[in-house]
Amino acid sequence: MPLSEHEQKLLEQLEKQLHEDDPKFASSMGSVPGRSWSTRHLVLGVLATLAGVLLLLVGVSTQIIIVGVVGFVVMGAGVYFATMRSSAVGKARAAGGRKQGKPRSSFMSNLEQRWDERHGGES
């Protein structure tokens, strides 16, 4: 069952706060906020991979080892480039610095605040 739009927003907020509060733990979990698949990287990577395969085949068919090795390296670089993710967060920080707004609060205090709001301050 897919998440509702509200649940997706909450999940994104929690993930973003986790990255702000404990980046070492968040990076060990393998999820990085603001990173998305780039169509440009995918297309260029696939083209480089195809060029590498062609070079590899030419190197094998002509029995020129260096051409085959270069083709293999180009092919590997193309696959790596195709699977890279672009960082929207890094671009935003480079352009405008730190975002303005309310001061950052800790992850747990934010969760406690939401809990209190939901239950009307009953504790």
Rounded Cα distance, 78 and 50, in Å: 8
Q: What is the pLDDT of residue 13?
A: 86
Domain boundaries, the chain: 38-86
pLDDT of residue 39: 84
- How does pLDDT run across 41-60, given as a tens digit for each residue? 889 999 999 999 999 999 99
Task: Please state whether the predicted TM-score (pTM) of the whole model is above 0.75.
Answer: no
How high is the pLDDT of residue 34? 54
Around Cβ 65, how many Cβ atoms within 10 Å? 10
Contacts of 57 (CB under 8 A, 6+ apart): 71
